[in-house]
Amino acid sequence: MTGLVIFGDGTMARLARHYFSSDSPYRVAGFCVDAAYRQGDTFEGLPLVDAANVERDFPSSSHHMFVAIGYSRMNALRAEKYAEAKARGYTLASYVSSRATVLTAEPPGDNVFILEHVAIQPFVRIGSNVILWSGATVAHDASIGDHTFVAAQAAILGGCTIGRSCFIGANATLRDGIAVADRTLVGAGAVVMEDTREGGVYLPPRATLMSKGSQEIDV
């Protein structure tokens, strides 16, 4: 089994360790973080080392790396650490759940994280450093650019093109054939029906309190 070092020591890293350990050919050997953020010598019972010295403890000749960072700063932090890992010569590992339905023949990029019950239809293209959370749907002929995060139960319909470094919130729906520009943020539950603007933020109306306790509402 190929050794795997995970960049990160938060919730995302803990989840990545679980998924890679239980459902992949990798053996998770340890974790690394930047020295300023390292708070101990172990994480989840495995060694936690300074990222600056990661090659000493987990050489790239025998270990791959996975960058386990979420959508902080619109995925910019994950993109930075992804680039640093590649510059150090690491092969970036991807995880595709055995419980996901993947029907496209197009291989995804590296450092991809595709969780259970994700549905990917034929002719879909997925870039590098992309996260698809549980239950997301990517319909036929859609494409997802590098460094994008798609949250749980989001629906990306046929022929939709998503740019780089986007965030698609939980239960959001993107209409078929639209173009989602780079760095677009689509909030949870939003329905996007037309092309977006680069760096745009698209939010749905928020739920409001209509009753208190057991009071009934006339509708």
Do 98 and 170 fall within a single domain? yes
Range of the domain at 38: 2-87
What gap in Å lies between CA 113 and CA 132, rounded to an integer? 6
Model pLDDT, residue 53: 94
- Distance set, CA 132 to CA 15, 22, 108, 111 (Å): 14, 18, 12, 12
Q: Do residue 57 and residue 109 come from a single domain?
A: no
Q: Which of 87, 121, 140 is the last residue of a domain?
A: 87
For the chain, which residues score pLDDT lower than 50?
none
- For residues 49 and 58, the answer to whether their CB atoms sit within 8 Å is yes
The identity of residue 168, as a single letter, is I
Q: What is the pLDDT of residues 200-210, one digit of tens each?
A: 999 999 989 98
Residue where one domain finishes, among candidates 52, 87, 122: 87
pLDDT recorded at residue 1: 84
Residue 33 lies in a domain: yes
127 and 44 fall within a common domain: no
Q: What is the pLDDT of residue 191?
A: 98
Query: Is residue 151 located within the same domain as residue 178?
Result: yes
Is 21 inside any structural domain? Answer: yes
Q: Do 8 and 99 belong together in one domain?
A: no
User: Is 140 inside a domain boundary?
Assistant: yes
Residues 83 and 112 in one domain: no
Q: Give yes or no: residues 125 and 64 share one domain.
A: no
Q: Which of 87, 106, 130 is the last residue of a domain?
A: 87
pLDDT of residue 212: 76
Do the domain assignments include residue 48? yes
pLDDT digits (tens, 9 = 90+) for 13-33: 999 999 999 999 999 999 999
Task: Give how many domains the chain has, as a whole number.
Answer: 2
Closest C-alpha to 124, from 100, 145, 144, 99: 144
Is residue 103 domain-shared with residue 190, that is, in the same domain?
yes
Claim to verify: residue 21 and residue 54 sit in the same structural domain:
yes
- Distance, in Å, from the CA atom of 95 to the CA atom of 149, rounded to the nearest integer, reads 14
